[in-house]
Structure 1
Amino acid sequence: MAFYYEVQFNNISAENSEILIALLSATNTNGIEELDNSLKVFFNEADFKEEEIAGMAGTVQAAYEVKKVEEENWNRLWESNFNPVTVENWVAVRADFHEPITNVVHEIVITPKMSFGTGHHATTYMMLEQMQQLEMTGKKVFDFGTGTGVLAILAHKMGATDITAVDYDEWSIENTRENITRNHTGGIKLIKSDTAELDQRFDVILANINKNVILDNMEILARELEPGGTIFFSGLLIEDEQDIVTAAQKQGLQLVKIAERNKWLFINMLKP
């Protein structure tokens, strides 16, 4: 039986929750759950380092608790707390135990396991929201940091014909594969990797990950984007704006749009 560590930071403000999420994005978390005045984070046994947790808690002066949780119980917890997400009348994300949502253009059904990207978090919500502005028919799409696969699945539903989804985490790859099957969106290529280096070219790149990973891969992402292509960045705090825009512009990308939701950032860049 596999075990996971559940860390709960208690009595924290929304601002400190955002700081913790930014710090945690540089670690190998298996899931983050935002609650009222608290934050739950899950790690597998190999990636759990309590000294790192203690340091993060000290940064925001937060108390925390650690519990060891069986994999089966972790999944049951996710299911009990997972509610459908609807982005306008554009797209809905729900679990298979929810009733169908029919008043949207696209519906995505996922299994709410240990992958980040259910649509609840502001960054995934903004990516889903902004994708309705794209013409995807026949396009080649790269989903970097796929999580649950929702962005790749939506791209497929929108008509993209060549989609590659990458994540460094084996659980995310497994979860995405299951979600692809559940949504009848076969043909999405899944790759386990911690880099964007694919030696391919794409019309659209979706990078909902975190600042450090984006900056480390900016040159690669810019090179892999076709001229006239679009790249969406998220997983960013509002204070990350200048660093991301400056790094993208150094690679010849042009700023198209910036959006904000709950102090999280979305950036759209274009390759001329």
Structure 2
Amino acid sequence: MGDYSELTIEATEAIREILIAELAAIGYDGFEESDGILKAYLPASDFNQSELDILLNKYDVKYSKSIIKKQNWNEVWESNFEPVRVDDFVGIRAGFHPPFDNVAHEIIITPKMSFGTGHHATTYMVMKLMEEIDFHGTTVFDFGTGTGILAILAEKLGAKAAVAVDNDDWCIENASENISINHCNRIDIEKVDKMNSDRKYDIILANINRHIILDNLGALKGSIEENGQLILSGLLKSDEHEILEACSALELRHKKTLERNGWIALWFF
């Protein structure tokens, strides 16, 4: 794996949230937000100038592009990564942060270029929904695992086995490292491009984006055990109607929606 392209985009909070979803759909797999700024990352070999211009011209935003060498990435995220607390349920930190006080579960993440540190609303909401589910003795499928954070949490919540998949080599490497750091031994990592339904799971977590969810929704439904549960996120509030209709057509029953900063997570059974 080589260098990464870094975009620095000036945008309002509302536009940043939309851009994350749109950029993720065209392959950007790492994001950082600060006041008025969104940084997005993509393997330099995958950078497509015309595709980017078409997307960003819709929102009339200014941006700059630079190259980050792989060996410099740790310096980048160490200077920006702050611990995340999901109430008293889970704390997410890097290895150089002090341990949390008074949280039920703690996860140590070295995010590198991968998505999923708990900072983004979608990851936060999926974890909030996971708090309401009994994972003891279950089998779990984490579709689009990124850093591996959701599979790691599933094991800490008592899952007997989890399969975490992604289509990106960097994510597979990063998730494997994080699984080891957190002393998890019931998670298998696999590189896949599409969901297949040759195995069934009690709980499926899919925190990706609308396009990939819709493309794989039939296979996701086919992979749920009877009385199993499905959590979908990586979705904007404006995606909710389309997702609910598609899930209803597959006879998935909607149990709950969470909303945070214009993003949603949906729970089906």
Structure 2 length-normalised TM:
0.98
In structure 2, the residue matched to 1:162 is 161
Q: Distance in 2 between matches of 1:26 and 1:40?
A: 16
Structure 1 residue identity aligned to 2:3: F
Whether contact under 8 Å (1:203, 1:230) holds in the other structure is: yes
Q: 1:127 aligned to 2:115?
A: no
After superposition, give the CA deviation of every residue in 1:220-257 in whole Å (9 maximum; x if it has no partner): 00010011111001100000001111111111100100
Helix, strand or coil at the partner of 2:66: strand
In structure 2, the residue matched to 1:87 is 86
In structure 2, the residue matched to 1:202 is 201
In structure 1, the residue matched to 2:2 is 2
User: What's the offset of the Cα at 1:134?
Assistant: 0.6
After superposition, give the CA deviation of every residue in 1:11-30 in whole Å (9 maximum; x if it has no partner): x1112112211211211223
In structure 2, the residue matched to 1:64 is 63
In structure 2, the residue matched to 1:150 is 149
Q: Distance in 1 between matches of 2:192 and 2:26?
A: 15
Q: 1:54 aligned to 2:33?
A: no
Q: Distance in 2 between matches of 1:55 and 1:220?
A: 31
Helix, strand or coil at the partner of 1:15: helix
Q: Distance in 2 between matches of 1:237 and 1:62?
A: 20
In structure 1, the residue matched to 2:117 is 118
1:233-272 alignment, distance < 5 Å: 233-270=232-269
After superposition, give the CA deviation of every residue in 1:123-148 in whole Å (9 maximum; x if it has no partner): 00001111110101110100001010
After superposition, give the CA deviation of every residue in 1:21-49 in whole Å (9 maximum; x if it has no partner): 12112112231111211111111122111
Structure 2 residue identity aligned to 1:203: D
Helix, strand or coil at the partner of 2:193: coil
Structure 2 residue identity aligned to 1:256: K
Q: Distance in 2 between matches of 1:30 and 1:220?
A: 23
Q: Distance in 2 between matches of 1:82 and 1:68?
A: 20
1:151-230 alignment, distance < 5 Å: 151-230=150-229
Q: Distance in 2 between matches of 1:18 and 1:205?
A: 24
Q: Distance in 2 between matches of 1:198 and 1:157?
A: 25
Q: Distance in 2 between matches of 1:30 and 1:250?
A: 30
1:5-16 alignment, distance < 5 Å: 5-10=5-10, 12-16=11-15
Structure 1 moving runs of 4+ over 4 Å: none
Whether contact under 8 Å (2:4, 2:70) holds in the other structure is: yes
In structure 1, the residue matched to 2:29 is 30
RMSD, matched Cα = 1.1
Structure 1 residue identity aligned to 2:234: G
Whether contact under 8 Å (2:197, 2:220) holds in the other structure is: no
Q: Distance in 1 between matches of 2:156 and 2:191?
A: 23
Whether contact under 8 Å (1:29, 1:47) holds in the other structure is: no
Q: Distance in 2 between matches of 1:112 and 1:18?
A: 20
Judge which range, 89-98 or 54-63, deviates more. Answer: 54-63
Structure 2 residue ranges without an equivalent (≥5): none
Q: Distance in 2 between matches of 1:163 and 1:19?
A: 31
Structure 2 residue identity aligned to 1:89: D
Give me the identity figure in percent: 46
Structure 2 residue identity aligned to 1:33: E
In structure 1, the residue matched to 2:75 is 76
Structure 1 residue ranges without an equivalent (≥5): none
Judge which range, 51-60 or 148-157, deviates more. Answer: 51-60
